[in-house]
Amino acid sequence: MKTIIEPFRIKSVEPIKMNSIEERKKILINSHFNLFQVKAQDVIIDLLTDSGTGAMSSKQWAGIMNGDESYAGSDSYLFFKDVVQDIFGFKYILPTHQGRASERILFSNLCKEGDIVPSNTHFDTTRANILFQGAKPIDLIDDEYKDTQSIFPFKGNMSIKKLEDLLKKSDLTKIPLIMITITNNSGGGQPVSMDNIIKVSNVAKKYNIPLYIDACRFAENAYFIKIREKKYKNWSIKKIVRKMFSYADGCTMSAKKDAIVNIGGFLCTNNESVNEKNQNLLILTEGFPTYGGLAGRDLEAIGIGLNEAMDIDYLNYRIKSIEYLGKKLLKNDVPILQPTGGHAIYIDAGLFLSHIPRNQFPGQVLACELYLKGGIRCSEIGSLMFGGIDDNGKEFYANNELVRLAMPRRTYTQSHIDYVIEVVINVYNNRKEIEGLKIAKQSKYLRHFTAKLKKV
């Protein structure tokens, strides 16, 4: 059959409260055109993030009931640890409350002032946590991949040439690790090929620098390897995952993505002394190493969810339903980042609202307009998130002005998506009437969460 259906039945539902455009107009003004400040109950379709917003399965909920809440050495921890070890193959595994806790612990232990950390593209929390250590995050993507309209199967790949050039001219004692983010969230949810992971690993080994993977969307990345990298066509997702991680020295993970839970994460390494330091910091700020800031029940749900995320029927539905949204938008001339990747559709707001200059935040403007017209909440991944003011007081901007429609896992049906398509097309057809925004108030780190904006 050509029609791909949601491979699940719905056992429990959560009502959506409908509201009017007049109500949403007031809500936008009261939240200073910052959608992070809008109440969830005022949102019709919430595509702000795919993080922690998925629907757990009946098996995961059963796991929640089975959670062992012992402070030390709980059964749930042992189950979690066995599953993570079996899938990823690392020696040392620490649970954390979410991805950024893993990042903070790892970078606190590995980075010092003046260091640099190369990546394909750092996610915003990774970037901020590196900066917080006084180190510098560097993104290394080939220029042709930065064009949102260019079509390549693995636009998340790190540029091997840029990496080698950087390492050749750098003081290597200042590069404590290399990171690869899979899939590349800030770069459009684009996958990284196995070939690229192997090449980055070879360079890392040559220069004796550890390689860590930001593993949030490991299953989606493995699916793209299976369908786009010929060699792996007949491999199981699990076998692909194991191979991907065999080239790394460790990983950080937000279980809120491809473990399909509402909270949780982990930090893995093969290095005993790094693990010892990680563990000490974990105890100080997260919790004892067998729960790491989580409840036993959370560890149980993560262990079950990790395997569910690698199910081929689930991944087929997941990636194909995102492609469905992308194709319909493209058919109606809406400029989106191509090809469609995992977890989200990224609208190119720079092209969509070409009459709005970058210093008036076209991405944020479009996100607000989608909320106004349809009650859809999504996030800007552009100059509000990645721009700012440098040490000389000069404004700088992001590479692209994107708006991300992130799909929570197993949460919305096709008719929800058809509604989203209708709203986006409606806004596109009336785009010339839309006006820019300016910042009224902002903070130094992660300003997009709290910035207050107003109409130009």
Does 256 bind ligand F0G (CB under 6 A)? Our answer is yes
* Nearest distance in Å: CB 49, ligand F0G: 3
Stretch that binds ligand F0G, among 31-39, 57-65, 96-104, 277-285 (CB under 6 A): 96-104
Of 28, 31, 83, 100, which lies in the binding site for ligand F0G, with binding defined by CB under 6 A?
A: 100
**Residue from 54, 63, 95, 99 binding ligand F0G (CB under 6 A):** 99
Q: Judged by CB under 6 A, which of 46, 115, 214, 348 binds ligand F0G?
A: 214
Report DSSP letters for 126-177, one per residue: HHHHHHHTT-EEEE---HHHHSTT---TTTT---HHHHHHHHHHS-GGG---
Applying CB under 6 A, the span of 55-63, 98-106, 242-250, 383-391 interacting with ligand F0G comes to 98-106
The residue of the chain with the least Cβ separation from ligand F0G equals: 99
Distances (CA, A) of 111 to 178, 374, 410: 11, 44, 37
Quick check: 96 binds ligand F0G (CB under 6 A)? no
CA distance 283 to 254: 19
Q: Which is nearer to ligand F0G, 57 or 379 (CB)?
A: 379
Residue among 260, 248, 170 at smallest CA distance from 216: 260
Footprint of ligand F0G on residues 8-37 (CB under 6 A)? none
From residue 204, alpha-carbon distances to 160, 172, 258, 270, 418 in Å are: 10, 11, 26, 15, 45
> Between residue 422 and residue 441, which ones bind ligand F0G under the rule CB under 6 A?
none
**CA distance linking residue 84 with residue 90, whole number of Å:** 8
Nearest approach in angstroms of CB 185 to ligand F0G is 4
Q: Does 98 bind ligand F0G (CB under 6 A)?
A: yes
Give residue 67's identity as a one-letter amino acid code.
Answer: G
What is the C-alpha to C-alpha distance for residues 367 and 364, in angstroms, rounded to an integer?
5
Half-sphere exposure (Cβ direction) of 97: Cα atoms closer than 13 Å: 10
Query: What is the C-alpha separation between 298 and 288, in angstroms, rounded?
Result: 15
Residues whose CB falls within 8 Å of the CB of residue 168, separated by 6 or more in sequence, listed in order: none
Task: Please state the closest distance from residue 3 (CB atom) to ligand F0G, in A.
Answer: 29
**322, 224, 268, 306: which is closest to 90 by C-alpha?**
268
One character per residue 360-399, x = contact with ligand F0G (rule: CB under 6 A): ----------------------------------------
Tell which one of 60, 129, 185, 275 touches ligand F0G (CB under 6 A): 185
Cβ proximity to ligand F0G, 254 vs 360, nearer residue: 254
Q: Is the separation of the CB atoms in 271 and 250 below 8 Å?
A: yes
Task: State the minimum distance, in angstroms, from the CB of residue 218 to ligand F0G.
Answer: 11
x/- map, 112-151, ligand F0G, by CB under 6 A: -----------x-xx-------------------------
d(CA 406, CA 320): 14
Contact between 321 and ligand F0G by CB under 6 A: the answer reads no
User: CA–CA separation, 168 vs 452, rounded Å?
Assistant: 43
95 touching ligand F0G, by CB under 6 A:
no
Check binding of 302 to ligand F0G (CB under 6 A): no
Cα gap 336→325, rounded to integer Å:
10
Cβ 371 to ligand F0G shortest distance, Å: 17
Q: Is 104 in the site for ligand F0G (CB under 6 A)?
A: no
Q: Which of 109, 181, 193, 360 binds ligand F0G (CB under 6 A)?
A: 181
Q: Helix or strand or coil: residue 311? A: coil
Task: Show the CA angle centred on residue 53, arms to residues 374 and 287, nearest 5°.
Answer: 145
Q: In the range 34-53, which residues lie near ligand F0G by CB under 6 A?
A: 49, 51
Q: Is 358 near ligand F0G (CB under 6 A)?
A: no
The single residue among 254, 278, 290, 360 that binds ligand F0G, judged by CB under 6 A, is 254
Residues in region 271-300 near ligand F0G by CB under 6 A: none
Q: How far is the CB of 294 from ligand F0G (least distance, A)?
A: 12
Three-state secondary-structure class, residue 209: coil
Considering beta carbons, is residue 359 or 450 the nearer one to ligand F0G?
450
C-alpha distance from residue 79 to each of 64, 73, 190, 284, 290 (Å):
13, 10, 31, 24, 11
CA dihedral 252, 258, 259, 265 (to 10 degrees): 20
Instruction: Give the residues lining the site for ligand F0G (CB under 6 A).
Output: 49, 51, 98-100, 123, 125-126, 181, 185, 214, 216, 254, 256, 265, 406
